[in-house]
Homo-oligomer: A and B are copies of this chain.
Amino acid sequence: MVTIKEIAERAKVSRTTVSRVINNSGYVSEDAKKRVLKVIEDTGYVPNQYAKSLRTKSTKVIGVILPKISTETSSRLVKGLDEILAKEGYQILLTITNLDPNKEIEYLKLLKSRNVDGIILSATNINEVLIEEIHQGEVPFVTVGQHIAGLANVLFDDYRASRDMVSLFVEKGHKKIAFIGVDEQDHSVGYLRKQGYLKGLEEYGLTAEDKWIQKGKFDVESGYESMKSIMEDAKQKPSAVLAVTDRLAIGAIRYLNDIGLSVPNDIAVAGMGGSELSKYISPSLTTIDFSIEDAGREAAKLLLKQIDGSSCKDVIRLIDHRLLNHFSI
């Protein structure tokens, strides 16, 4: 591995001068500069970033903590992040927790020990220990998707999103709207989306039978089962169903098709999440697409701002969403 010392010797200058050439700083004669550049070219020399970081503190690396990698959400987020960060010369150091809360803390420590210039956390479970670990350290920090007080947050407006979806149903003439949610422990998908649904009903003076409100997990099967419960147990059958994820919606559609009902003619189904799936199934699935790339870009910008010295305490950025395939209700 060729070092600055070797470049200096070959170009017959001091290491100081080589450093000046590389960083375009201080006074260097044209002649010396030319010689140094020549040697660098010849040798294919690349400065050792660790030595550099050790001195300068800045590492040009951003740590990213993700719950999962093989989900559309994660990859779209990373895409948005990278768009902004790469442009500014930052690289992404990726860590994946696989939904293990202990790993969240472990990776947080690890990223600090690697002296990353900033950390972006797409959190799942927010707990005391995690928050404490975040606060001690003074590293620029942005969370995405879950709110943590006192930090910079990039959030999706889950509440409004499901209210919007209820509005759309009502516009299309639906009055009996069922709901397939998930556990409310999940603040965003479980709690907020349900609240938005309830609020939507309230705004239009609608009510729902208890049986219309079901709870599933994050998979297709539980969408199927939830829909089954609704159709079998409810006194009145709903004319529309809002599922909080696209997979749940697809499960629901499966069940409806299985019992010979046509979607959306007999009963309308909408999902949330804007998955790619939604446009390829037929008929395409009405859903809400959260602009996850935007969230990534926004998070990256907030982080860069903090790195530049601005304080972003208690900042909240709400990310837009839009309706996809609304014609298919």
Q: A residues within 8 Å of B by Cβ?
A: 44, 46-51, 53-54, 59, 61, 69-72, 74-76, 78-79, 82, 86, 91-96, 109-110, 112-115, 136, 220, 250, 257, 276-277, 280-282
A329 to chain B, nearest CB (A): 19
Tell me which residues across on chain B come within 8 A of A53, comparing CB atoms.
50
Please give me the 9 A-B residue pairs with the lowest Cβ-Cβ distance, nearest first.
Answer: A46-B113, A70-B75, A92-B94, A50-B50, A70-B79, A50-B53, A75-B75, A50-B54, A49-B114
What are 26 sample pairs from A and B whose C-beta atoms fall under 8 A apart?
A: A44-B136, A46-B113, A49-B113, A49-B114, A50-B50, A50-B54, A50-B115, A54-B54, A69-B79, A69-B82, A70-B72, A71-B75, A86-B95, A91-B93, A91-B114, A92-B93, A92-B94, A93-B93, A220-B280, A257-B282, A276-B277, A277-B277, A277-B280, A280-B280, A280-B281, A282-B282
Q: CB within 8 A of A78: which of B46, B94, B115, B276? A: B94
Tell me which residues across on chain B come within 8 A of A82, comparing CB atoms.
69, 94, 96
Interface contact B48-A115, CB-CB below 8 Å: yes
Q: CA A321 – CA B289 in complex, angstroms?
A: 32
Tell me which residues across on chain B come within 8 A of A61, comparing CB atoms.
93
Interface contact A94-B91, CB-CB below 8 Å: yes
Interface contact A280-B250, CB-CB below 8 Å: yes
A48-B113, A50-B53, A91-B93 given; 7 more Cβ-contact pairs under 8 Å: A50-B50, A50-B114, A54-B54, A69-B75, A71-B75, A82-B96, A280-B280
Of chain B, the residue at the smallest CB distance from A95 is: B91
